[in-house]
Structure 1
């Protein structure tokens, strides 16, 4: 079951993100998700700037992602599936749910940013119809430069 998260579930989404991004702790530039406090999610949820979804299987939360609307684009981030839950299609299921949600909201473009060096993530998005539209160098919240690609998917109207 995939559903919009509520305020009581913020700690669950944060825990899933921490577990999923732990493997990026020892990259040359570690993921800023590792140091992101739960209050960051709570504040963006409370002020309405960001929503999140959770994927439950047999009552267990095994995936989450965050999203927000920017004009006519739905931007998502922090797609989180911990290592022990991978290989079940959870990320693809969440992204499919997000596409349906996006269409219902009258939005027809999804976008995310992916580290260029994480080719398996880039390939995952490409396998479900996303294309690289830009390459850029950004400064992450921990003030480190990171090479990323912007990926987009246009939905049929």
Structure 2
């Protein structure tokens, strides 16, 4: 597996990986807002402060993670692995690459937010050394509330 830093020209690849990975949440209430994103919105984000890593196996994209650098560390989101490759350690490799990136940038922490209903992701991050440090309810414009946990790993 090869993990590369993305550029704005990779927006379509990032969007495709994200759509495939997040499709499993289309029947959640509410569905993940990741499914509302477009290639253009991803490209726009990458043109601003957002960064991303893409995992390739045999030159085929199989996973990605988007993130931003903050003063206190890296905040990642939209970690995506295509369904047929899930459970093979790709997400863990992406997270390890993110840690390498943070260490090179001398950033002390990596954090993320996870829906409380997605226990497999909470378990994955916990297995990588992340700990829950906050819980909150995100209020969506349509009146729907989503319970999320904030997780952080100190490097």
TM-score in terms of structure 1 length: 0.94
Which whole-Å CA distance do the structure 1 matches of 2:5 and 2:140 have between them? Answer: 26
1:3-152 maps to which residues of 2 (within 5 A)? 3-47=4-48, 49-140=49-140, 144-152=144-152
Alpha-carbon shift at residue 7 of structure 1 (Å): 1.9
Which whole-Å CA distance do the structure 2 matches of 1:129 and 1:102 have between them? Answer: 15
Which whole-Å CA distance do the structure 1 matches of 2:91 and 2:51 have between them? Answer: 17
Which whole-Å CA distance do the structure 1 matches of 2:141 and 2:37 have between them? Answer: 9
Two-structure CA RMSD over aligned residues (Å): 1.3
Preserved CA contact (<8 Å) 2:9 2:43: no
TM-score in terms of structure 2 length: 0.95
Aligned length: 154
Any gaps of 5 or more consecutive residues in structure 1? Answer: none
Alpha-carbon shift at residue 144 of structure 1 (Å): 3.6
Q: 4+ residue runs of structure 1 moved beyond 6 angstroms?
A: none
Any gaps of 5 or more consecutive residues in structure 2? Answer: none
Preserved CA contact (<8 Å) 1:135 1:148: yes
Which whole-Å CA distance do the structure 1 matches of 2:83 and 2:151 have between them? Answer: 23
